[in-house]
Amino acid sequence: MKLDEVPQDDSPTYSGHKKLLYAVDEKGHYHKVQSSGWDVESFATKLAVDDLNQQTLDAYQDAKAGLVSPLAYHMLKARLDITSLAQATGKFEWQIKRHLKPKIFAKLSDQKLQTYADIINISLEKLKSLPSQP
Protein backbone atom coordinates (compact mmCIF):
# COMPACT_ATOMS: atom_id res chain seq x y z
CA MET A 1 0.00 0.00 0.00
CA LYS A 2 1.31 3.46 -0.87
CA LEU A 3 1.53 6.27 1.67
CA ASP A 4 -1.33 8.19 0.07
CA GLU A 5 -3.54 5.07 -0.08
CA VAL A 6 -3.69 4.40 3.67
CA PRO A 7 -7.41 4.44 4.55
CA GLN A 8 -8.67 7.19 6.86
CA ASP A 9 -12.38 6.33 7.07
CA ASP A 10 -12.89 7.07 10.81
CA SER A 11 -14.06 3.55 11.58
CA PRO A 12 -16.43 3.25 14.56
CA THR A 13 -14.85 -0.12 15.39
CA TYR A 14 -11.63 1.71 16.30
CA SER A 15 -13.47 3.74 18.97
CA GLY A 16 -11.43 6.84 18.16
CA HIS A 17 -8.12 4.98 18.26
CA LYS A 18 -5.62 4.63 15.43
CA LYS A 19 -4.09 1.52 13.89
CA LEU A 20 -0.47 1.37 12.81
CA LEU A 21 0.05 0.24 9.23
CA TYR A 22 3.07 0.09 6.97
CA ALA A 23 3.04 1.86 3.63
CA VAL A 24 5.56 2.31 0.84
CA ASP A 25 6.84 5.71 -0.28
CA GLU A 26 7.76 6.64 -3.85
CA LYS A 27 11.28 5.21 -3.35
CA GLY A 28 9.96 1.85 -2.15
CA HIS A 29 10.85 2.38 1.51
CA TYR A 30 8.44 1.30 4.21
CA HIS A 31 7.06 3.82 6.70
CA LYS A 32 4.78 3.55 9.70
CA VAL A 33 1.45 5.29 9.07
CA GLN A 34 -1.54 5.62 11.38
CA SER A 35 -4.98 4.83 10.02
CA SER A 36 -8.30 5.87 11.51
CA GLY A 37 -10.00 2.90 9.89
CA TRP A 38 -11.20 1.39 6.68
CA ASP A 39 -14.87 0.99 5.78
CA VAL A 40 -14.34 -2.50 4.35
CA GLU A 41 -12.54 -3.70 7.49
CA SER A 42 -15.20 -2.10 9.67
CA PHE A 43 -17.95 -3.87 7.73
CA ALA A 44 -16.20 -7.25 8.04
CA THR A 45 -15.61 -6.73 11.76
CA LYS A 46 -19.26 -5.85 12.32
CA LEU A 47 -20.36 -9.00 10.45
CA ALA A 48 -18.03 -11.14 12.56
CA VAL A 49 -19.23 -9.60 15.84
CA ASP A 50 -22.87 -9.97 14.79
CA ASP A 51 -22.21 -13.64 14.00
CA LEU A 52 -20.56 -14.20 17.40
CA ASN A 53 -23.49 -12.51 19.13
CA GLN A 54 -25.94 -14.75 17.26
CA GLN A 55 -23.97 -17.89 18.19
CA THR A 56 -24.03 -16.78 21.83
CA LEU A 57 -27.79 -16.17 21.71
CA ASP A 58 -28.35 -19.57 20.05
CA ALA A 59 -26.27 -21.27 22.76
CA TYR A 60 -28.28 -19.47 25.44
CA GLN A 61 -31.56 -20.66 23.93
CA ASP A 62 -30.22 -24.21 23.49
CA ALA A 63 -29.04 -24.26 27.12
CA LYS A 64 -32.43 -22.96 28.31
CA ALA A 65 -34.06 -25.79 26.32
CA GLY A 66 -31.70 -28.35 27.89
CA LEU A 67 -30.01 -29.22 24.60
CA VAL A 68 -26.55 -28.11 25.77
CA SER A 69 -24.96 -27.34 29.12
CA PRO A 70 -24.57 -23.78 30.43
CA LEU A 71 -20.88 -24.12 29.55
CA ALA A 72 -21.78 -23.67 25.86
CA TYR A 73 -23.29 -20.25 26.54
CA HIS A 74 -20.57 -19.06 28.94
CA MET A 75 -17.82 -20.24 26.59
CA LEU A 76 -19.22 -18.22 23.67
CA LYS A 77 -20.06 -15.23 25.87
CA ALA A 78 -16.35 -15.12 26.79
CA ARG A 79 -15.52 -15.22 23.04
CA LEU A 80 -13.99 -18.67 23.32
CA ASP A 81 -14.59 -21.65 21.08
CA ILE A 82 -13.98 -25.34 21.72
CA THR A 83 -10.39 -25.18 20.48
CA SER A 84 -9.40 -22.11 22.51
CA LEU A 85 -11.13 -23.41 25.64
CA ALA A 86 -9.34 -26.74 25.26
CA GLN A 87 -6.00 -24.96 24.92
CA ALA A 88 -6.67 -22.72 27.91
CA THR A 89 -7.77 -25.58 30.17
CA GLY A 90 -5.29 -28.18 28.99
CA LYS A 91 -8.13 -30.52 28.06
CA PHE A 92 -8.71 -32.29 24.78
CA GLU A 93 -11.36 -30.93 22.42
CA TRP A 94 -13.36 -34.16 22.74
CA GLN A 95 -13.54 -33.57 26.49
CA ILE A 96 -14.88 -30.04 26.01
CA LYS A 97 -17.48 -31.32 23.52
CA ARG A 98 -18.50 -33.99 26.01
CA HIS A 99 -18.87 -31.42 28.79
CA LEU A 100 -21.25 -29.44 26.58
CA LYS A 101 -23.78 -32.27 27.03
CA PRO A 102 -26.12 -31.46 29.94
CA LYS A 103 -26.09 -34.94 31.50
CA ILE A 104 -22.28 -35.11 31.48
CA PHE A 105 -21.91 -31.51 32.69
CA ALA A 106 -24.22 -32.21 35.65
CA LYS A 107 -21.92 -35.03 36.81
CA LEU A 108 -18.68 -33.00 36.72
CA SER A 109 -16.99 -32.30 40.02
CA ASP A 110 -16.75 -28.75 41.32
CA GLN A 111 -12.98 -29.01 40.91
CA LYS A 112 -13.30 -29.67 37.16
CA LEU A 113 -15.94 -26.97 36.80
CA GLN A 114 -13.76 -24.50 38.68
CA THR A 115 -11.16 -24.86 35.93
CA TYR A 116 -13.73 -23.63 33.41
CA ALA A 117 -14.93 -20.88 35.75
CA ASP A 118 -11.38 -19.61 36.21
CA ILE A 119 -10.71 -19.49 32.47
CA ILE A 120 -14.05 -17.82 31.69
CA ASN A 121 -13.58 -15.52 34.72
CA ILE A 122 -16.93 -16.18 36.38
CA SER A 123 -17.96 -17.81 39.64
CA LEU A 124 -18.69 -21.51 39.89
CA GLU A 125 -22.34 -20.74 40.64
CA LYS A 126 -22.67 -18.62 37.50
CA LEU A 127 -21.03 -21.34 35.40
CA LYS A 128 -23.62 -23.86 36.57
CA SER A 129 -26.55 -21.64 35.65
CA LEU A 130 -27.77 -19.19 33.04
CA PRO A 131 -28.53 -15.51 33.52
CA SER A 132 -32.15 -14.42 33.20
CA GLN A 133 -31.22 -12.55 30.01
CA PRO A 134 -28.46 -13.49 27.52
Same domain, 48 and 15: no
Domain assignment of residue 134, yes or no: no
Domain assignment of residue 133, yes or no: no
Residue 11 has pLDDT above 90, yes or no: no
Same domain, 96 and 32: no
Q: What whole-number distance in Å separates Cα of residue 82 and Cα of residue 96?
A: 6
Domain count, the chain: 2
Q: What is the CATH number of the domain that holds 74?
A: 1.10.260
- What domain range is 19 assigned to? 3-37
CB 88 within 8 A of CB 118: no
Domain assignment of residue 92, yes or no: yes
Instruction: Quick: pLDDT tens for 27-84.
Output: 999 999 999 888 898 899 899 999 999 999 999 999 999 999 999 999 999 999 999 9
User: Can you give the pLDDT at residue 43?
Assistant: 92
Residue 72, Cβ density class (10 Å: 0-12 exposed, 13-18 middle, ≥19 buried): buried
Instruction: Quick: pLDDT tens for 77-113.
Output: 999 999 999 999 999 999 999 999 999 999 999 999 9
Smallest Cα–Cα separation from 73: which of 15, 131, 12, 14?
131
